[in-house]
């Protein structure tokens, strides 16, 4: 039964490597730095991107060798994808780990690689590089809110995490 489904509708632990990589919508949100409050454990999001992120396209400029330059770049797996609270609610890996469908702007659904940008989900053109940012604490833009906020963000018109409310 599962074999008849498109791979992005199958359980994520059944995907092969190629299918797993293809699940990424290319938003670039996971490539933004976060700041953790040491006392409360709360995660704050910044508009500061990893030095490898192409700020115009929201793509990693050296994805195959990224761990050589950024050793702590996290490798998402079917086991970790559902347990990372800092992943954006729109992240394809997080959605599929939770058994949720991909949004209509995901390129696998609509066939348009540009739709993630048009929907306001990607960080392309909206963030700065860590090479020029200075202290991350000066660039906090969005603490993740409650579930209501997450639902709002999944709407194309919803606020992006790097936009101040």
* Positions in the binding site for ligand SF4 (CB under 6 A): 24-30, 76, 87-88, 91-93
Nearer to ligand SF4, 26 or 158 (CB): 26
Do 87 and 153 touch, CB atoms closer than 8 A?
no
Nearer to ligand SF4, 30 or 48 (CB): 30
Tokens representing 134 are 């200075």
Closest approach, Cβ 39 to ligand SF4, in A, equals 27
Nearer to ligand SF4, 12 or 76 (CB): 76
Nearer to ligand SF4, 48 or 87 (CB): 87
Closest approach, Cβ 87 to ligand SF4, in A, equals 6
Closest approach, Cβ 123 to ligand SF4, in A, equals 9
Pick from 54, 73, 44, 35: nearest CA to 161: 44
Distance of alpha carbon 62 from its chain centroid, rounded? 17
Four-CA torsion 24, 130, 89, 117, nearest 10 degrees: -60
DSSP letter string over 44-113? Answer: EEEEEE-TTEETTTTEETTGGGHHHH-TT-----TTTGGG-TTS-TT-HHHHHHTTPPPPTTSHHHHS-T
Nearer to ligand SF4, 95 or 139 (CB): 95
């Amino acid at each position: 039964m599962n074999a008849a489904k498109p791979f992005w509708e199958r359980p994520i632990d059944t995907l092969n490597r190629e299918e797993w990589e293809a699940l990424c919508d290319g938003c670039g949100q996971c490539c933004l730095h976060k700041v953790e409050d040491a006392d409360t454990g709360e995660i704050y999001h910044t508009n500061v991107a990893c030095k490898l992120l192409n700020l115009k396209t929201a793509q990693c400029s050296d994805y195959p060798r990224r761990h050589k330059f950024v050793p702590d770049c996290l490798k998402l797996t079917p086991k970790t994808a559902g347990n990372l609270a800092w992943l954006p609610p729109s992240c394809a890996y997080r959605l599929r780990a939770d058994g949720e469908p991909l949004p209509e702007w995901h390129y696998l659904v609509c066939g348009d690689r540009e739709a993630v940008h048009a929907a306001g989900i990607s960080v392309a053109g909206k963030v700065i590089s860590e090479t020029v940012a200075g202290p991350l604490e000066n660039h906090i833009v969005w603490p993740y809110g409650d579930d209501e906020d997450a639902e709002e963000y999944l709407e194309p018109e919803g606020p992006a995490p790097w936009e101040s409310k």
